[in-house]
Homo-oligomer: A and B are copies of this chain.
Amino acid sequence: MAPIDTRTQILDAAEHLFAERGFRGTSVRAITDRAGANLAAVGYHFGSKAELLTAVIRRVVDPITAAQGAGLDRLLAETADPPVAGLVEAFTGPLFDDARAGDESGARTSRLIVAIFGDPAEEMRSWTGPAEEAVRDRYQAAFQRALPGLSPDELWFRIRGILAVAAVDRVEAHNQPPPAGCPPTASAARHWAITFLAAAMSAPPTTA
């Protein structure tokens, strides 16, 4: 196989470092050092550090969005009105799956998602595109059918709750290495999250 493209190596290095130290905490020098490339290569291939970030974000987010859409398609092929638990699983699962195979990118991916989600930097807020909004809207409609008594505002609050739990979970797991006994495996966290969130989504509407 040909040696990996410099551009790809920069993307890999940037993804790792942005996830670990945030956008502002990562210098272009650190990225190119890790990629074994030259300082000027970022400017050449991406234009600027900010444009490199959006390339990294797209590479991480796009497959997740696609998997969420495909999961919903699969559910809707079975029944026109999927149950809440199925919707939660289809929406949440891809957030826990490794976006790409081969490395330990799972924890790093979620870490990056939180870094994106929580970073107040303006540059970090470019992760929602039309595709993300479309998938979100489709899920919102499906949840609405499964939870007819819920107001759209409260439903939207709950969907953000899913994102919050999925995003924050593995970050903390990554921050503090397994404290004692058996470290819960990633798939355990995934199942716990689905249990937790399916119950939460199924809660009766809040009475004003």
Q: Which of B20, B125, B161 interacts with A196 by CB under 8 Å? A: B161
Separation of A115 and B24 alpha carbons in the complex (Å): 13
Nearest residue, chain B, Cβ from A22: B120
Q: Which of B119, B165, B200, B202 interacts with A118 by CB under 8 Å? A: B119
Nearest residue, chain B, Cβ from A191: B206
Instruction: Type the 1/0 row for A75-106, where 1 means its CB is closer than 8 Å to any CB of B.
Output: 00000000000000000000000000000000
Task: Indicate whether A72 reaches chain B with its CB closer than 8 angstroms.
Answer: no
Q: Which of B168, B184, B204 interacts with A153 by CB under 8 Å? A: B184
Inter-chain contacts of A42 with B (CB < 8 A): none
Contact segment of A5-13, A29-37, A140-148, A169-177:
A169-177
How far apart are A14's CB and chain B's nearest CB, in angstroms? 14
B118, A118: Cβ atoms closer than 8 Å: yes
Nearest residue, chain B, Cβ from A119: B22
Q: Which of B111, B165, B171, B204 interacts with A161 by CB under 8 Å? A: B165
The complex is assembled from copies of this chain, and their number is 2
B21, A120: Cβ atoms closer than 8 Å: yes
Nearest residue, chain B, Cβ from A206: B195
Separation of A188 and B171 alpha carbons in the complex (Å): 28
Inter-chain contacts of A172 with B (CB < 8 A): 160
Task: Indicate whether A44 reaches chain B with its CB closer than 8 angstroms.
Answer: no
Inter-chain contacts of A51 with B (CB < 8 A): none
CB within 8 Å of B: which of A134-193? 153-154, 157-158, 160-161, 163-165, 167-169, 171-172, 175, 182, 184, 188-189, 191-193
Inter-chain contacts of A165 with B (CB < 8 A): 161, 164-165
Interfacial residues, chain A to chain B (CB-CB below 8 A): 19-22, 24-25, 111, 114-115, 117-121, 125, 153-154, 157-158, 160-161, 163-165, 167-169, 171-172, 175, 182, 184, 188-189, 191-200, 202-206
